[in-house]
Chain A
């Protein structure tokens, strides 16, 4: 899921459901990237069909860890249901979202 692109940015591309069954593994991957010295991460959500509150909690945990390490998290290609979840929790204002991974990597 995690791909190290260059010295600055890493991308993660989870797929399927980000829910109570998969959230803790996903969060571990996000935290692992920070611990490995890659705090700037783009999460490509194009293959995620459903996000629930547990998946959202994992994204939040990842964002907190990234910011504490001086990095950030960006979201790319956010599908409709994930967009709904971010909007309902007002987190769409906190997670910067881009239409594609390329735009997220380039956006500075």
Chain B
């Protein structure tokens, strides 16, 4: 990913700021961790997890594919914690997908007929200049 941040200004004339990069890296890290922990815990090479990063002037997309177990958790619509008034109610687990969703403009999951998991993480570059 460091190479991506270095190359982007060369390709597009500008690169996203540190906050944008931190948000994107956070989302990519969460989905990668989910794949390692839940989809592919013991599969090793059989899991064949891959990441592709797609770039154009409008957005950056990270696409994960793997052949591990399907994801059964729903994708939250927003961040995992909203209320600041009740700290004893805050969850300590299950925060990952909500955190990833909050860091992106779109997060999609698909289980293909061929038995592949496909995660699509999209973040628009127009939000990069803040």
Contact = CB atoms under 8 A, between A and B. Distances in A.
Interface of A: 19-20, 50, 52-54, 56-58, 60-61, 63-64, 67-68, 80-81, 83-85, 88-91, 93-94
Given A20-B37, A80-B19, A88 B93 contact: no
B93 A57 contact: yes
Interface of B: 18-19, 22-23, 25-26, 29-30, 33, 36-37, 79-82, 84, 87-88, 90-93, 95-96, 98-99, 102-103
Contacts of A90: 79, 81-82, 84
Q: Is the interface of A mostly helix, strand, loop or mixed?
A: helix
B25 A81 contact: yes
A81 B99 CA distance: 13
Contact of A67 (B18, B87, B103): B87
29 contacts: A19-B29, A19-B33, A52-B26, A52-B99, A53-B80, A53-B99, A54-B96, A56-B95, A57-B91, A57-B93, A57-B95, A60-B87, A60-B92, A61-B92, A64-B90, A64-B92, A67-B87, A81-B22, A84-B22, A84-B26, A84-B103, A88-B26, A88-B102, A89-B95, A90-B79, A90-B82, A91-B81, A93-B84, A94-B84
Contacts of B99: 52-53, 56, 85, 88-89
Contacts of B88: 64, 67-68
A52 B96 contact: yes
Nearest to A52: B29
Contacts of A52: 26, 29-30, 33, 96, 99
A99 B18 CA distance: 18
A83 B22 contact: yes
Nearest to B90: A60
A51 to B, nearest CB: 8
